[in-house]
């Protein structure tokens, strides 16, 4: 980019105009100085036009290949059904367009390895849309953990929960029981790869550790089919010796969307509270013994505090905004983006191991790069 280009907003195209694509519009309204929506593509042209209008006006296409060839774009966002993520990302790479792929980045390790090879061959960045890494509270907690071993210390155990009553989402999309998320072949599984992937990626990011082995048990209730799990409980073992439990459920009555994390270190505890009102994600609280024993009973629940307001300084409360601005800055500067393909490899490898364990009923080792 020349000097004038370095001052101009990064021009994005979005492929896919379904429900999740509208969440990706927030950055264009919040930071028009950094990012601009230039084109929208969906084979259902009315959906594409509605998204383009909601995004402030953009060129509309019904063929992504035409968009990649004709539209003046600096980068692309893929927000389509899972089974299209990797093939569309390949087309973006070949067109020389850095691409942010809504999670999951790919459905299988085979697809991840192919994308990694193409990305290296063409010198084009591929980023996973794991927007939780860009939440202000998460950024603050990661700094707090790293500042001193007396704060949190070594991760020892953790509990992850992801619940949703998927019915409301299905009918909001207009697809109802024909929705692709119910089809294990098109979704690449279901609740683990679509919902719990956020919590799995988050624990890796916060504590700088990878998954090594999993043991999973699940349910396959209708209307889920073709290998799509409706619920899963997973025992997780990590490279730092920590063990954890994941509970994920897509058939959670009256729960619109909730996530929770509790982590225990050698010196500290992090608890994510789920709001009683049913807010999809509660606030975080943290406490530390400061390396000192808490031997008195009355001390046990003392010292917990909420993440301070300073965590939000310089960041937007909406993680989609922070994610896209960070990606745009990397595209503008030519630097390596945060949350690149290589950083997401172990998350997808863990999910593939979970699916294998669900089928076999035995512990499965998580594949290496």
Q: Which residues partner with 99 through β-bridges? A: 76, 126
3-state secondary structure of 72: coil
What does the pLDDT look like over 138-183, one tens digit per residue?
Answer: 999 999 999 999 999 999 999 999 998 888 778 777 778 889 999 9
Question: Do 301 and 326 fall within a single domain?
Answer: no
3-state secondary structure of 125: coil
CATH code for the domain in which residue 72 is found: 3.40.50.720
Question: Do 329 and 360 fall within a single domain?
Answer: no
Tell me the H-state helices in 63-108: 64-70, 85-94
Cβ atoms of residues 59 and 87 within 8 Å: no
CATH code for the domain in which residue 151 is found: 3.30.360.10
Q: pTM of the entire structure?
A: 0.92
Does 281 have pLDDT greater than 70?
no
Relative orientation angle of helices 109-122 and 341-360, to the nearest 10 degrees: 160
Question: Do 179 and 295 fall within a single domain?
Answer: yes
The structural domain count of the chain equals 2
Does 294 have pLDDT greater than 90?
no
Question: Do 159 and 232 fall within a single domain?
Answer: yes
Does 283 have pLDDT greater than 80?
no
What does the pLDDT look like over 257-272, one tens digit per residue?
Answer: 788 899 999 999 998 8
In total, the chain counts a number of residues equal to: 369
Render 279-296 in DSSP notation, one character per residue: -SBPPEEEEE-TTS---S
What does the pLDDT look like over 223-277, one tens digit per residue?
Answer: 999 999 999 999 999 999 999 999 999 998 877 778 889 999 999 999 886 554 4
Question: Do 219 and 354 fall within a single domain?
Answer: yes
3-state secondary structure of 94: helix
What does the pLDDT look like over 344-366, one tens digit per residue?
Answer: 999 999 999 999 999 999 999 99
Does 135 have pLDDT greater than 60?
yes
CA 259 to chain centroid, in Å, comes to: 13
β-pairing, 364-365 vs 305-306, is unpaired
Q: What is the domain extent for residue 194?
A: 133-316+348-365
The C-alpha atoms of residue 169 and residue 188 are separated, in whole angstroms, by 18
Question: Do 335 and 283 fall within a single domain?
Answer: no
Phi/psi for 161 (5° steps) reads -135, 135
Cβ atoms of residues 130 and 339 within 8 Å: yes
User: What pLDDT does 177 receive?
Assistant: 87
The C-alpha atoms of residue 126 and residue 341 are separated, in whole angstroms, by 6
The C-alpha atoms of residue 8 and residue 44 are separated, in whole angstroms, by 31
Question: Do 145 and 263 fall within a single domain?
Answer: yes
Burial label, 367 (beta-carbon count in 10 A; 0-12, 13-18, 19+): middle
Contacts of 130 (CB under 8 A, 6+ apart): 103, 197, 198, 201, 202, 205, 339, 344, 347
Element (H, E) at 244: strand 243-249
Question: Do 91 and 16 fall within a single domain?
Answer: yes
Question: Do 213 and 102 fall within a single domain?
Answer: no
User: What pLDDT does 171 receive?
Assistant: 76
Question: Do 228 and 202 fall within a single domain?
Answer: yes
Question: Do 116 and 209 fall within a single domain?
Answer: no
Cβ atoms of residues 117 and 106 within 8 Å: no
Beta-carbon count within 10 A of 237 CB: 17
HSE on the CB side for 291, CA within 13 Å?
4
The residue among 116, 206, 189 whose CA lies nearest residue 356 is: 189
Question: Do 103 and 218 fall within a single domain?
Answer: no
3-state secondary structure of 141: helix
What does the pLDDT look like over 296-345, one tens digit per residue?
Answer: 555 555 667 788 888 788 899 899 999 999 999 999 999 999 999 999 99
Element (H, E) at 135: none
């Amino acid at each position: 980019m020349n000097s004038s280009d370095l001052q101009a907003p990064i021009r994005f195209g979005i492929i896919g105009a379904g429900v999740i694509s509208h969440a990706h519009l927030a950055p264009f309204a919040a930071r028009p100085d950094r990012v601009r929506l230039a084109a929208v593509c969906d084979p259902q042209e009315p959906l594409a036009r509605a998204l383009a209008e909601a995004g402030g006006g953009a060129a509309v296409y019904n063929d992504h290949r035409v968009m990649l060839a004709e539209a003046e774009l600096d980068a692309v966002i893929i927000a389509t059904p899972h089974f299209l993520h990797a093939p569309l990302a390949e087309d973006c790479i070949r067109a020389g367009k850095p691409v942010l792929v809504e999670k999951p980045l790919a459905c299988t390790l085979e697809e991840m390895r192919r994308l990694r090879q193409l990305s290296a061959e063409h010198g084009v960045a591929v980023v996973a849309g794991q927007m939780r890494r860009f939440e202000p509270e998460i950024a603050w907690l990661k700094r707090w953990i790293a500042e001193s071993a007396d704060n949190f210390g070594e991760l020892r155990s953790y509990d992850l929960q992801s619940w949703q009553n998927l019915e409301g989402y299905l009918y909001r999309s207009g697809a109802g029981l024909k929705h692709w998320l119910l089809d294990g072949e098109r979704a690449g599984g279901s609740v683990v790869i679509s919902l719990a992937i956020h919590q799995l990626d988050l624990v890796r990011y916060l504590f700088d550790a990878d998954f090594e082995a999993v043991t999973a048990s699940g349910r396959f209730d209708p209307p889920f089919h073709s290998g799509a799990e409706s619920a899963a409980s997973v025992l997780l073992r990590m490279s730092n010796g920590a063990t954890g439990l994941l509970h994920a459920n897509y058939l959670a009555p009256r729960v619109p969307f909730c996530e929770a994390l509790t982590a225990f270190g050698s010196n500290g505890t992090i608890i994510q509270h789920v709001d009683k009102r049913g807010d999809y994600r509660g606030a975080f609280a943290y406490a530390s013994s400061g390396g000192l024993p808490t031997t008195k009973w009355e001390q046990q629940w003392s010292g917990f505090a909420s993440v301070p307001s300073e965590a939000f300084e310089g960041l937007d409360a909406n993680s989609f905004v922070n994610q896209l601005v960070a990606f745009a800055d990397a595209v503008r500067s030519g630097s390596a983006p945060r949350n690149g393909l290589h950083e997401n490899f172990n998350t997808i490898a863990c999910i593939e191991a979970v699916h294998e364990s669900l089928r076999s009923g035995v512990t499965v080792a998580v594949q290496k790069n």
